[in-house]
Amino acid sequence: MFNGKTILVTGGTGSFGKKIVKTILERYNPNKLIVFSRDELKQYEMSQAYSDTKYPCIRYFIGDVREEARLEDAFRNVDYVIHAAALKQVPACEYNPFEAIKTNVLGAQNIIRAAIKQKVKKLIALSTDKAANPVNLYGATKLCSDKLFVAGNSMSGDLSTIFSVVRYGNVVGSRGSVIPFFLKKKSEGILPVTDSRMTRFSITLQHGVDFVLDRLDHMHGGEVFVPKIPSYKILDVAKAIAPDAKIKEIGIRPGEKLHELMIPEDDARHTIEFNNYYVIQPDFIWWNKKDHLLGKGGKLCPSGFSYRSDTNSDWLTVPAIRKLVDDFVKERPEYR
């Protein structure tokens, strides 16, 4: 679907942005691939790997999702937008709440308006497990963002732009991930753990990219897509990285959950299960559940269902975590 099309990635110099740009360049032949971000240094560094000489389709746009006018310029003649820009660090959002709202909430509003005005065909936005029953500001802003993008389909009306959301858990080795943190602490012989009972969802960066591209291809507009991914226990991560290290419990940080949640119980009545993912359906009058989902092999989740990291049926074993860590270190030699 990307051959001959123009795609724009907001937050294009972040971990996800760089991976999806790499994947699109390897698999498709787009007309243009626009990297949109506000950091000129990161764009310069990225252009060393993906130059417009080697990849004539690539473009680098400086801009901020807080600036609606700049988004309108960037979205001109764009077919698909992948929205990955956000303020994501929980402590930073807690300490700078107005900034988090400007980027994650008002930025989403600007994205929606610009996409509709410029007649973008499809837009898919990245969310987070922290948006489900949020307990911190980051999660709350992403929940607001999710609601805005779902409602964007009603705002678009007959103008044909459609919006959907992808929500998934912690990305292996991403900034703020426990894996690089434990690798740094390994040499000290003591691993600080917030709570030994803690569990988390886990997804690789490539899996996240592949899921977004697949859902972008098949979205109708209004869905919140949730992939089925494994959980891990924090103590198993510690065993995989430093089996001989001592564990020191330091207590849960402000805004942190003991277990992660991706589909709350209250959303169960709107959720359809497929083999590899769930779809939280929108409450639209025009949304035909049978045509969109139930007629395509999905089944309605039972009342009281929730998708939680501690009750998940799929778990990463210590050897499986160790392989993920080894793969991460191969790509990041500074952690060897």
CA max distance for the chain: 61
- Write down the pLDDT at residue 260: 94
- Write down the pLDDT at residue 262: 96
Read off the DSSP letter of residue 104: I
Q: Is the pLDDT of residue 194 over 80?
A: yes
Range 100-103 contact pairs with CB under 8 angstroms and sequence separation of 24 or more? 100/137, 100/138, 100/141, 101/141, 102/66, 103/64, 103/65, 103/66
- Write down the pLDDT at residue 179: 87
- Write down the pLDDT at residue 291: 62
Alpha helix locations (H) across 2-106? 15-27, 40-49, 68-74, 90-95, 97-101
Q: Which residues of 4-16 are buried (b: 16+ CB within 10 A; e: fewer)?
A: ebbbbbbbbbbbb
In angstroms, the CA 260 to CA 176 distance is 16
- Write down the pLDDT at residue 331: 79
Closest CA to 130 of 279, 267, 260, 311: 260
Alpha helix locations (H) across the chain? 15-27, 40-49, 68-74, 90-95, 97-101, 107-117, 137-156, 178-185, 205-218, 234-241, 289-292, 318-331
**Residue keyed to tokens 């709107």:** 270
Residue pLDDT, tens place only, 215-239: 999 999 999 999 999 999 999 999 9
What confidence category does residue 148 fall into, taking pLDDT thresholds of 50, 70 and 90?
very high
- Write down the pLDDT at residue 50: 94
What confidence category does residue 66 fall into, taking pLDDT thresholds of 50, 70 and 90?
very high
- pTM comes to 0.94
Task: Report, as an integer, the average pLDDT of 245-259.
Answer: 88
- Write down the pLDDT at residue 190: 93
In angstroms, the CA 97 to CA 168 distance is 23
- Write down the pLDDT at residue 175: 67
Q: Is the pLDDT of residue 173 over 90?
A: no
- Write down the pLDDT at residue 294: 59
**Residue keyed to tokens 């937050």:** 11
Task: Return mean pLDDT, the chain.
Answer: 92
- Domains and their CATH numbers in the chain: 1-167 (3.40.50.720)
The 10 Å Cβ neighbour count of residue 250 is: 9
**In this structure, are residues 206 and 19 in contact, taking their beta carbons and an 8 Å threshold?**
yes
**In this structure, are residues 112 and 148 in contact, taking their beta carbons and an 8 Å threshold?**
yes
Read off the DSSP letter of residue 50: S
What confidence category does residue 169 fall into, taking pLDDT thresholds of 50, 70 and 90?
confident
Residue pLDDT, tens place only, 91-147: 899 999 999 999 999 999 999 999 999 999 999 999 999 999 999 999 999 999 999
Q: Is the pLDDT of residue 174 over 90?
A: no
Report, as residue numbers or ranges, the catalytic residues: 130
Higher per-residue pLDDT: 129 or 254: 129
Give the whole-number percent of the chain exceeding pLDDT 70.
97
**In this structure, are residues 39 and 65 in contact, taking their beta carbons and an 8 Å threshold?**
no
Closest CA to 168 of 118, 114, 205: 205
